[in-house]
Chain A
Amino acid sequence: MRSALTPLELRRPASVDEALRMMRDEALQPIAGCTDVYVGLNFGTLATQRFIDLDRLDALRTIDASGDTLSIGALATYTSIMEHAAVRERLPMLVSAASQIGGLQIQNRGTLGGNVANGSPAGDALPVLAVAEATIVLRSAEAERRVPFTTFYTGYRASVMRPDELIVALEIPRVHGRQWFRKVGTRAAQAISKLVAAGVRNDAPRIAMGSVAATTVRLPRTEAALATPDGLDAALIALREEISPIDDIRSTGDYRRDVAANLVRRFWTDTA
Protein backbone atom coordinates (compact mmCIF):
# COMPACT_ATOMS: atom_id res chain seq x y z
CA MET A 1 0.00 0.00 0.00
CA ARG A 2 1.20 3.49 -0.77
CA SER A 3 0.56 5.13 2.61
CA ALA A 4 3.58 4.83 4.91
CA LEU A 5 2.74 2.56 7.84
CA THR A 6 5.19 3.94 10.41
CA PRO A 7 3.26 7.12 11.28
CA LEU A 8 -0.06 5.31 11.52
CA GLU A 9 -1.52 4.61 14.95
CA LEU A 10 -4.38 2.30 15.78
CA ARG A 11 -6.38 2.24 19.02
CA ARG A 12 -8.24 -0.97 19.68
CA PRO A 13 -10.94 -0.49 22.33
CA ALA A 14 -12.75 -3.54 23.71
CA SER A 15 -16.03 -1.76 24.48
CA VAL A 16 -18.16 1.09 23.18
CA ASP A 17 -17.56 3.10 26.36
CA GLU A 18 -13.80 2.71 26.02
CA ALA A 19 -14.02 3.76 22.38
CA LEU A 20 -16.02 6.88 23.26
CA ARG A 21 -13.53 7.88 25.97
CA MET A 22 -10.68 7.52 23.48
CA MET A 23 -12.58 9.65 20.98
CA ARG A 24 -13.25 12.29 23.63
CA ASP A 25 -9.54 12.50 24.46
CA GLU A 26 -8.00 12.50 20.99
CA ALA A 27 -8.96 12.97 17.35
CA LEU A 28 -9.37 9.50 15.86
CA GLN A 29 -10.81 8.25 12.60
CA PRO A 30 -13.05 5.24 13.21
CA ILE A 31 -12.51 2.16 11.05
CA ALA A 32 -14.64 -0.98 10.91
CA GLY A 33 -15.12 -2.90 7.66
CA CYS A 34 -12.36 -0.72 6.10
CA THR A 35 -13.89 -1.02 2.63
CA ASP A 36 -13.61 2.75 2.15
CA VAL A 37 -10.71 3.71 4.44
CA TYR A 38 -8.30 1.11 3.09
CA VAL A 39 -8.94 2.17 -0.48
CA GLY A 40 -7.65 5.60 0.55
CA LEU A 41 -4.66 4.10 2.39
CA ASN A 42 -3.81 1.79 -0.50
CA PHE A 43 -3.65 4.72 -2.87
CA GLY A 44 -1.90 7.03 -0.42
CA THR A 45 -4.68 9.60 -0.66
CA LEU A 46 -5.76 9.55 3.00
CA ALA A 47 -4.02 12.13 5.18
CA THR A 48 -5.42 10.73 8.45
CA GLN A 49 -2.86 8.96 10.66
CA ARG A 50 -4.69 8.15 13.89
CA PHE A 51 -7.39 5.50 13.77
CA ILE A 52 -9.68 3.68 16.14
CA ASP A 53 -10.74 0.13 15.31
CA LEU A 54 -14.40 -0.60 16.07
CA ASP A 55 -14.09 -4.25 15.05
CA ARG A 56 -14.27 -5.61 18.60
CA LEU A 57 -17.42 -3.67 19.52
CA ASP A 58 -19.79 -6.55 18.95
CA ALA A 59 -22.58 -4.70 20.79
CA LEU A 60 -22.89 -2.53 17.66
CA ARG A 61 -23.54 -5.50 15.36
CA THR A 62 -27.00 -6.25 16.75
CA ILE A 63 -30.11 -6.01 14.61
CA ASP A 64 -33.17 -5.64 16.86
CA ALA A 65 -36.61 -6.02 15.30
CA SER A 66 -38.51 -6.77 18.49
CA GLY A 67 -40.44 -3.47 18.55
CA ASP A 68 -42.11 -1.22 16.03
CA THR A 69 -38.76 0.42 15.36
CA LEU A 70 -36.18 -1.66 13.56
CA SER A 71 -32.79 -0.92 15.11
CA ILE A 72 -29.76 -1.83 13.03
CA GLY A 73 -26.41 -1.58 14.81
CA ALA A 74 -23.85 0.56 13.02
CA LEU A 75 -21.54 -2.43 12.55
CA ALA A 76 -24.17 -4.67 10.94
CA THR A 77 -22.67 -5.83 7.65
CA TYR A 78 -24.56 -5.89 4.38
CA THR A 79 -24.48 -9.70 4.57
CA SER A 80 -26.02 -9.72 8.04
CA ILE A 81 -28.70 -7.29 6.82
CA MET A 82 -29.50 -9.50 3.81
CA GLU A 83 -29.70 -12.60 5.98
CA HIS A 84 -31.90 -11.11 8.71
CA ALA A 85 -35.47 -12.39 8.42
CA ALA A 86 -37.11 -9.31 9.96
CA VAL A 87 -35.13 -6.91 7.74
CA ARG A 88 -36.11 -8.95 4.70
CA GLU A 89 -39.74 -8.73 5.72
CA ARG A 90 -39.87 -5.11 6.83
CA LEU A 91 -37.31 -3.39 4.66
CA PRO A 92 -36.85 -5.29 1.39
CA MET A 93 -35.50 -2.14 -0.29
CA LEU A 94 -32.56 -2.18 2.13
CA VAL A 95 -31.93 -5.86 1.38
CA SER A 96 -32.00 -4.99 -2.32
CA ALA A 97 -29.47 -2.16 -1.80
CA ALA A 98 -27.21 -4.38 0.36
CA SER A 99 -27.19 -7.11 -2.28
CA GLN A 100 -25.97 -4.67 -4.94
CA ILE A 101 -23.15 -3.09 -2.95
CA GLY A 102 -19.79 -4.45 -4.12
CA GLY A 103 -19.40 -8.21 -4.34
CA LEU A 104 -19.68 -10.89 -1.68
CA GLN A 105 -16.35 -9.96 -0.07
CA ILE A 106 -17.38 -6.32 0.35
CA GLN A 107 -20.85 -7.27 1.60
CA ASN A 108 -19.19 -9.47 4.23
CA ARG A 109 -17.17 -6.54 5.59
CA GLY A 110 -18.90 -3.27 4.74
CA THR A 111 -21.20 -1.86 7.40
CA LEU A 112 -24.36 0.23 7.28
CA GLY A 113 -22.87 2.69 9.79
CA GLY A 114 -19.82 3.01 7.55
CA ASN A 115 -21.97 3.82 4.53
CA VAL A 116 -23.58 6.64 6.52
CA ALA A 117 -20.33 7.91 8.05
CA ASN A 118 -18.46 7.85 4.74
CA GLY A 119 -21.22 10.09 3.43
CA SER A 120 -20.57 9.60 -0.26
CA PRO A 121 -23.38 11.09 -2.36
CA ALA A 122 -23.26 7.75 -4.22
CA GLY A 123 -23.76 5.66 -1.04
CA ASP A 124 -26.16 2.89 -2.06
CA ALA A 125 -27.95 2.40 1.25
CA LEU A 126 -28.48 6.12 1.80
CA PRO A 127 -31.55 6.73 -0.41
CA VAL A 128 -33.19 3.81 1.40
CA LEU A 129 -32.52 5.38 4.80
CA ALA A 130 -33.84 8.70 3.46
CA VAL A 131 -37.20 7.33 2.29
CA ALA A 132 -37.50 5.04 5.32
CA GLU A 133 -37.22 8.19 7.47
CA ALA A 134 -34.46 6.58 9.50
CA THR A 135 -32.98 8.17 12.59
CA ILE A 136 -29.24 8.13 13.20
CA VAL A 137 -28.26 7.40 16.79
CA LEU A 138 -25.08 9.27 17.72
CA ARG A 139 -23.27 8.67 20.98
CA SER A 140 -20.38 10.45 22.68
CA ALA A 141 -18.76 9.85 26.07
CA GLU A 142 -21.20 12.45 27.44
CA ALA A 143 -24.52 11.83 25.75
CA GLU A 144 -26.59 10.12 23.10
CA ARG A 145 -28.67 12.01 20.56
CA ARG A 146 -30.91 11.15 17.64
CA VAL A 147 -30.71 12.95 14.31
CA PRO A 148 -33.22 12.40 11.48
CA PHE A 149 -31.38 11.02 8.46
CA THR A 150 -32.76 13.81 6.27
CA THR A 151 -31.04 16.50 8.39
CA PHE A 152 -27.78 14.61 9.00
CA TYR A 153 -25.75 15.80 6.01
CA THR A 154 -24.87 19.48 5.70
CA GLY A 155 -22.91 19.32 2.43
CA TYR A 156 -20.57 17.17 0.38
CA ARG A 157 -19.29 14.52 2.82
CA ALA A 158 -20.13 16.86 5.70
CA SER A 159 -22.56 16.13 8.51
CA VAL A 160 -23.72 17.30 11.94
CA MET A 161 -21.74 14.49 13.60
CA ARG A 162 -19.00 15.76 15.93
CA PRO A 163 -15.50 14.23 15.93
CA ASP A 164 -16.09 12.72 19.39
CA GLU A 165 -19.30 11.00 18.32
CA LEU A 166 -19.89 7.53 16.92
CA ILE A 167 -22.84 6.33 14.90
CA VAL A 168 -24.13 3.50 17.08
CA ALA A 169 -27.35 2.54 15.28
CA LEU A 170 -29.90 3.34 12.62
CA GLU A 171 -33.51 3.33 13.80
CA ILE A 172 -36.13 2.72 11.16
CA PRO A 173 -39.87 3.08 11.78
CA ARG A 174 -42.39 0.81 10.08
CA VAL A 175 -42.66 1.67 6.40
CA HIS A 176 -46.15 1.50 4.91
CA GLY A 177 -46.57 1.11 1.17
CA ARG A 178 -44.61 -0.53 -1.64
CA GLN A 179 -40.84 -0.24 -1.40
CA TRP A 180 -38.62 0.22 -4.41
CA PHE A 181 -34.86 0.42 -5.02
CA ARG A 182 -32.86 0.85 -8.18
CA LYS A 183 -29.15 1.29 -8.78
CA VAL A 184 -27.69 2.36 -12.12
CA GLY A 185 -24.02 1.58 -12.69
CA THR A 186 -21.73 0.35 -15.43
CA ARG A 187 -22.14 -3.23 -14.23
CA ALA A 188 -24.72 -4.98 -12.05
CA ALA A 189 -22.11 -5.84 -9.40
CA GLN A 190 -18.94 -4.17 -8.16
CA ALA A 191 -19.68 -0.76 -9.68
CA ILE A 192 -20.08 2.53 -7.86
CA SER A 193 -23.47 4.00 -8.76
CA LYS A 194 -23.91 6.55 -11.51
CA LEU A 195 -27.30 7.08 -9.89
CA VAL A 196 -29.11 5.32 -7.10
CA ALA A 197 -32.70 5.75 -5.95
CA ALA A 198 -35.20 4.41 -3.45
CA GLY A 199 -38.92 5.04 -3.13
CA VAL A 200 -42.00 4.23 -1.07
CA ARG A 201 -45.39 4.21 -2.78
CA ASN A 202 -48.34 5.15 -0.61
CA ASP A 203 -50.74 8.13 -0.31
CA ALA A 204 -47.75 10.36 0.41
CA PRO A 205 -45.09 8.92 -1.93
CA ARG A 206 -41.44 9.30 -1.04
CA ILE A 207 -38.42 9.21 -3.30
CA ALA A 208 -34.72 9.85 -2.67
CA MET A 209 -31.70 9.79 -4.97
CA GLY A 210 -27.95 9.57 -4.75
CA SER A 211 -25.38 11.09 -7.13
CA VAL A 212 -27.70 13.90 -8.26
CA ALA A 213 -26.49 16.47 -5.70
CA ALA A 214 -23.73 16.98 -3.11
CA THR A 215 -25.54 14.66 -0.71
CA THR A 216 -28.19 11.98 -0.97
CA VAL A 217 -31.44 13.93 -1.29
CA ARG A 218 -35.12 13.43 -0.69
CA LEU A 219 -37.10 15.09 -3.48
CA PRO A 220 -40.04 16.76 -1.70
CA ARG A 221 -41.41 18.66 -4.71
CA THR A 222 -41.26 15.58 -6.91
CA GLU A 223 -42.98 13.66 -4.13
CA ALA A 224 -45.71 16.29 -3.76
CA ALA A 225 -46.27 16.30 -7.52
CA LEU A 226 -46.55 12.50 -7.59
CA ALA A 227 -49.38 12.76 -5.07
CA THR A 228 -51.44 15.03 -7.37
CA PRO A 229 -53.82 13.87 -10.13
CA ASP A 230 -51.21 14.86 -12.76
CA GLY A 231 -48.84 12.53 -10.98
CA LEU A 232 -45.92 11.52 -13.11
CA ASP A 233 -45.96 14.39 -15.63
CA ALA A 234 -45.93 17.00 -12.89
CA ALA A 235 -43.24 15.08 -11.02
CA LEU A 236 -40.89 15.03 -13.99
CA ILE A 237 -41.15 18.83 -14.24
CA ALA A 238 -40.55 19.25 -10.51
CA LEU A 239 -37.60 16.87 -10.62
CA ARG A 240 -35.60 19.02 -13.03
CA GLU A 241 -35.73 21.92 -10.57
CA GLU A 242 -34.85 19.73 -7.66
CA ILE A 243 -31.62 17.98 -8.67
CA SER A 244 -28.21 19.38 -9.56
CA PRO A 245 -26.13 16.50 -10.95
CA ILE A 246 -22.55 17.13 -12.04
CA ASP A 247 -20.10 15.70 -14.58
CA ASP A 248 -17.58 13.44 -12.90
CA ILE A 249 -15.47 10.34 -13.52
CA ARG A 250 -18.51 8.05 -13.57
CA SER A 251 -21.03 9.99 -15.61
CA THR A 252 -22.20 13.37 -16.88
CA GLY A 253 -24.75 15.80 -15.51
CA ASP A 254 -26.83 15.50 -18.68
CA TYR A 255 -26.92 11.71 -18.51
CA ARG A 256 -27.83 11.85 -14.84
CA ARG A 257 -30.71 14.28 -15.52
CA ASP A 258 -32.15 11.92 -18.13
CA VAL A 259 -31.69 8.83 -15.98
CA ALA A 260 -33.11 10.57 -12.88
CA ALA A 261 -36.31 11.21 -14.88
CA ASN A 262 -36.31 7.59 -16.06
CA LEU A 263 -35.93 6.44 -12.46
CA VAL A 264 -38.92 8.48 -11.29
CA ARG A 265 -40.93 7.06 -14.19
CA ARG A 266 -39.72 3.56 -13.33
CA PHE A 267 -40.55 3.98 -9.65
CA TRP A 268 -44.07 5.04 -10.55
CA THR A 269 -44.75 2.24 -13.04
CA ASP A 270 -42.98 -0.50 -11.01
CA THR A 271 -45.06 0.28 -7.93
CA ALA A 272 -48.38 1.01 -9.71
Chain B
Amino acid sequence: MRFTLNGAATEVAAHPMSRLLDVLREECNLTGTKEGCGEGECGACTVLIDGVPVVSCLVPVAQAEGHEVTTIEGLGDDHPLQHHFMNEAGAQCGICTPGMVLVASTIPADASLDDIRVALAGNLCRCTGYEAIYRAIMKAREATA
Protein backbone atom coordinates (compact mmCIF):
# COMPACT_ATOMS: atom_id res chain seq x y z
CA MET B 1 0.00 0.00 0.00
CA ARG B 2 1.17 3.46 -0.89
CA PHE B 3 0.40 6.72 0.80
CA THR B 4 2.09 10.04 1.44
CA LEU B 5 3.69 10.23 4.86
CA ASN B 6 4.80 13.64 6.08
CA GLY B 7 5.14 14.79 2.50
CA ALA B 8 7.09 11.80 1.18
CA ALA B 9 5.77 8.90 -0.90
CA THR B 10 5.73 5.77 1.25
CA GLU B 11 5.04 2.12 0.58
CA VAL B 12 4.28 -0.33 3.38
CA ALA B 13 3.92 -4.11 3.39
CA ALA B 14 1.56 -4.31 6.37
CA HIS B 15 -1.66 -6.32 6.47
CA PRO B 16 -4.42 -4.04 5.14
CA MET B 17 -6.30 -4.32 8.43
CA SER B 18 -3.31 -3.33 10.55
CA ARG B 19 -3.99 -0.26 12.58
CA LEU B 20 -2.42 2.82 11.01
CA LEU B 21 -0.98 3.45 14.50
CA ASP B 22 1.01 0.20 14.46
CA VAL B 23 2.23 0.69 10.90
CA LEU B 24 3.48 4.19 11.70
CA ARG B 25 5.28 3.09 14.83
CA GLU B 26 6.59 -0.33 13.83
CA GLU B 27 7.08 -0.24 10.08
CA CYS B 28 7.70 3.47 9.50
CA ASN B 29 9.63 3.85 12.79
CA LEU B 30 7.76 7.04 13.67
CA THR B 31 7.21 6.61 17.39
CA GLY B 32 5.95 10.13 18.03
CA THR B 33 2.42 8.77 17.62
CA LYS B 34 1.45 7.28 20.99
CA GLU B 35 -1.01 4.60 21.96
CA GLY B 36 -3.14 5.54 24.95
CA CYS B 37 -6.45 3.74 25.27
CA GLY B 38 -6.70 1.80 22.00
CA GLU B 39 -10.42 2.55 21.77
CA GLY B 40 -10.67 6.04 20.32
CA GLU B 41 -11.28 7.77 23.63
CA CYS B 42 -8.01 9.54 24.45
CA GLY B 43 -6.69 11.07 21.24
CA ALA B 44 -3.02 10.24 21.99
CA CYS B 45 -2.67 8.47 18.62
CA THR B 46 -4.11 11.37 16.62
CA VAL B 47 -2.68 11.88 13.15
CA LEU B 48 -3.96 13.96 10.25
CA ILE B 49 -5.32 12.27 7.14
CA ASP B 50 -5.61 14.83 4.34
CA GLY B 51 -5.31 17.46 7.06
CA VAL B 52 -8.19 16.07 9.16
CA PRO B 53 -7.55 14.77 12.72
CA VAL B 54 -8.36 11.09 13.23
CA VAL B 55 -7.36 8.53 15.85
CA SER B 56 -4.92 6.13 14.20
CA CYS B 57 -5.89 3.26 16.53
CA LEU B 58 -9.24 3.07 14.73
CA VAL B 59 -7.97 3.38 11.14
CA PRO B 60 -7.08 0.32 9.06
CA VAL B 61 -3.96 1.17 7.07
CA ALA B 62 -5.86 0.19 3.91
CA GLN B 63 -7.93 3.35 4.33
CA ALA B 64 -4.78 5.49 4.27
CA GLU B 65 -3.96 4.24 0.78
CA GLY B 66 -3.64 7.16 -1.62
CA HIS B 67 -4.04 9.73 1.14
CA GLU B 68 -1.72 12.16 2.91
CA VAL B 69 -0.84 11.19 6.46
CA THR B 70 0.78 13.72 8.78
CA THR B 71 2.26 12.64 12.11
CA ILE B 72 3.82 14.82 14.79
CA GLU B 73 7.19 14.29 13.08
CA GLY B 74 5.68 15.97 10.01
CA LEU B 75 5.40 19.30 11.84
CA GLY B 76 9.19 19.44 12.00
CA ASP B 77 11.35 20.27 14.98
CA ASP B 78 10.85 24.01 15.14
CA HIS B 79 7.09 24.44 15.13
CA PRO B 80 5.66 27.45 17.02
CA LEU B 81 3.21 25.20 18.89
CA GLN B 82 6.13 23.07 20.08
CA HIS B 83 7.83 26.10 21.63
CA HIS B 84 4.66 27.43 23.23
CA PHE B 85 3.82 24.03 24.72
CA MET B 86 7.33 24.00 26.25
CA ASN B 87 7.22 27.59 27.46
CA GLU B 88 3.78 27.24 29.05
CA ALA B 89 4.57 23.79 30.52
CA GLY B 90 1.74 22.39 28.41
CA ALA B 91 3.25 18.91 28.74
CA GLN B 92 4.27 16.74 31.65
CA CYS B 93 4.42 13.04 30.82
CA GLY B 94 4.13 13.92 27.13
CA ILE B 95 1.95 11.01 25.97
CA CYS B 96 -0.96 13.27 24.99
CA THR B 97 1.24 16.01 23.54
CA PRO B 98 1.65 14.83 19.92
CA GLY B 99 -2.11 14.47 19.57
CA MET B 100 -2.78 17.79 21.29
CA VAL B 101 -0.31 19.60 19.03
CA LEU B 102 -1.64 17.99 15.84
CA VAL B 103 -5.24 18.93 16.66
CA ALA B 104 -4.10 22.41 17.69
CA SER B 105 -2.38 22.79 14.32
CA THR B 106 -5.77 22.45 12.59
CA ILE B 107 -7.73 24.94 14.73
CA PRO B 108 -8.77 27.98 12.67
CA ALA B 109 -7.06 31.27 13.49
CA ASP B 110 -10.31 32.97 14.55
CA ALA B 111 -11.28 30.26 17.08
CA SER B 112 -12.21 31.35 20.60
CA LEU B 113 -11.01 29.68 23.80
CA ASP B 114 -14.32 27.81 23.85
CA ASP B 115 -13.75 26.62 20.28
CA ILE B 116 -10.31 25.37 21.33
CA ARG B 117 -11.81 23.49 24.28
CA VAL B 118 -14.35 21.82 22.00
CA ALA B 119 -11.72 20.97 19.39
CA LEU B 120 -9.57 19.31 22.07
CA ALA B 121 -12.47 17.47 23.72
CA GLY B 122 -11.22 14.23 22.16
CA ASN B 123 -7.70 14.62 23.60
CA LEU B 124 -7.34 13.57 27.21
CA CYS B 125 -4.49 14.78 29.42
CA ARG B 126 -4.08 13.32 32.90
CA CYS B 127 -1.22 15.59 34.01
CA THR B 128 -1.63 19.25 33.18
CA GLY B 129 -5.31 19.94 33.79
CA TYR B 130 -5.54 21.46 30.30
CA GLU B 131 -5.13 25.13 31.28
CA ALA B 132 -1.45 25.21 30.29
CA ILE B 133 -2.32 23.53 27.00
CA TYR B 134 -5.04 26.09 26.19
CA ARG B 135 -2.63 28.86 27.16
CA ALA B 136 0.07 27.47 24.85
CA ILE B 137 -2.35 27.33 21.94
CA MET B 138 -3.68 30.83 22.61
CA LYS B 139 -0.11 32.21 22.81
CA ALA B 140 0.90 30.49 19.59
CA ARG B 141 -2.06 32.14 17.89
CA GLU B 142 -1.28 35.57 19.32
CA ALA B 143 2.28 35.21 18.05
CA THR B 144 1.13 34.50 14.51
CA ALA B 145 -1.73 37.03 14.48
Residues in A lying within 8 Å of B, measured CB to CB: 1, 5-6, 8, 10, 12, 31, 33-35, 38-39, 41-43, 51, 53, 55, 79, 102-106, 108-109, 188-190
Contact = CB atoms under 8 A, between A and B. Distances in A.
B59 interface: yes
A6 B55 CA distance: 23
Contacts of B40: 35, 38-39, 102, 105-106
B43 A1 contact: no
A79 B118 CA distance: 13
Nearest to B58: A38
Contact of A8 (B17, B39, B59, B124): B17
A89 B40 CA distance: 30
9 contacts: A10-B62, A42-B57, A103-B123, A104-B121, A105-B53, A105-B55, A108-B53, A189-B118, A190-B124
Interface string B111-129: 0000000111111100000
B59 A103 contact: no
Interface residues of B, number: 30
A253 B53 CA distance: 37
Contacts, number: 89
A39 B39 contact: yes
B141 interface: no
Closest 10 CB pairs of A and B: A103-B122, A189-B121, A38-B58, A5-B15, A42-B38, A105-B55, A103-B121, A39-B39, A8-B17, A10-B16
A104 B60 contact: no
Given A35-B58, A189-B121, A43 B39 contact: yes
B54 A105 contact: yes
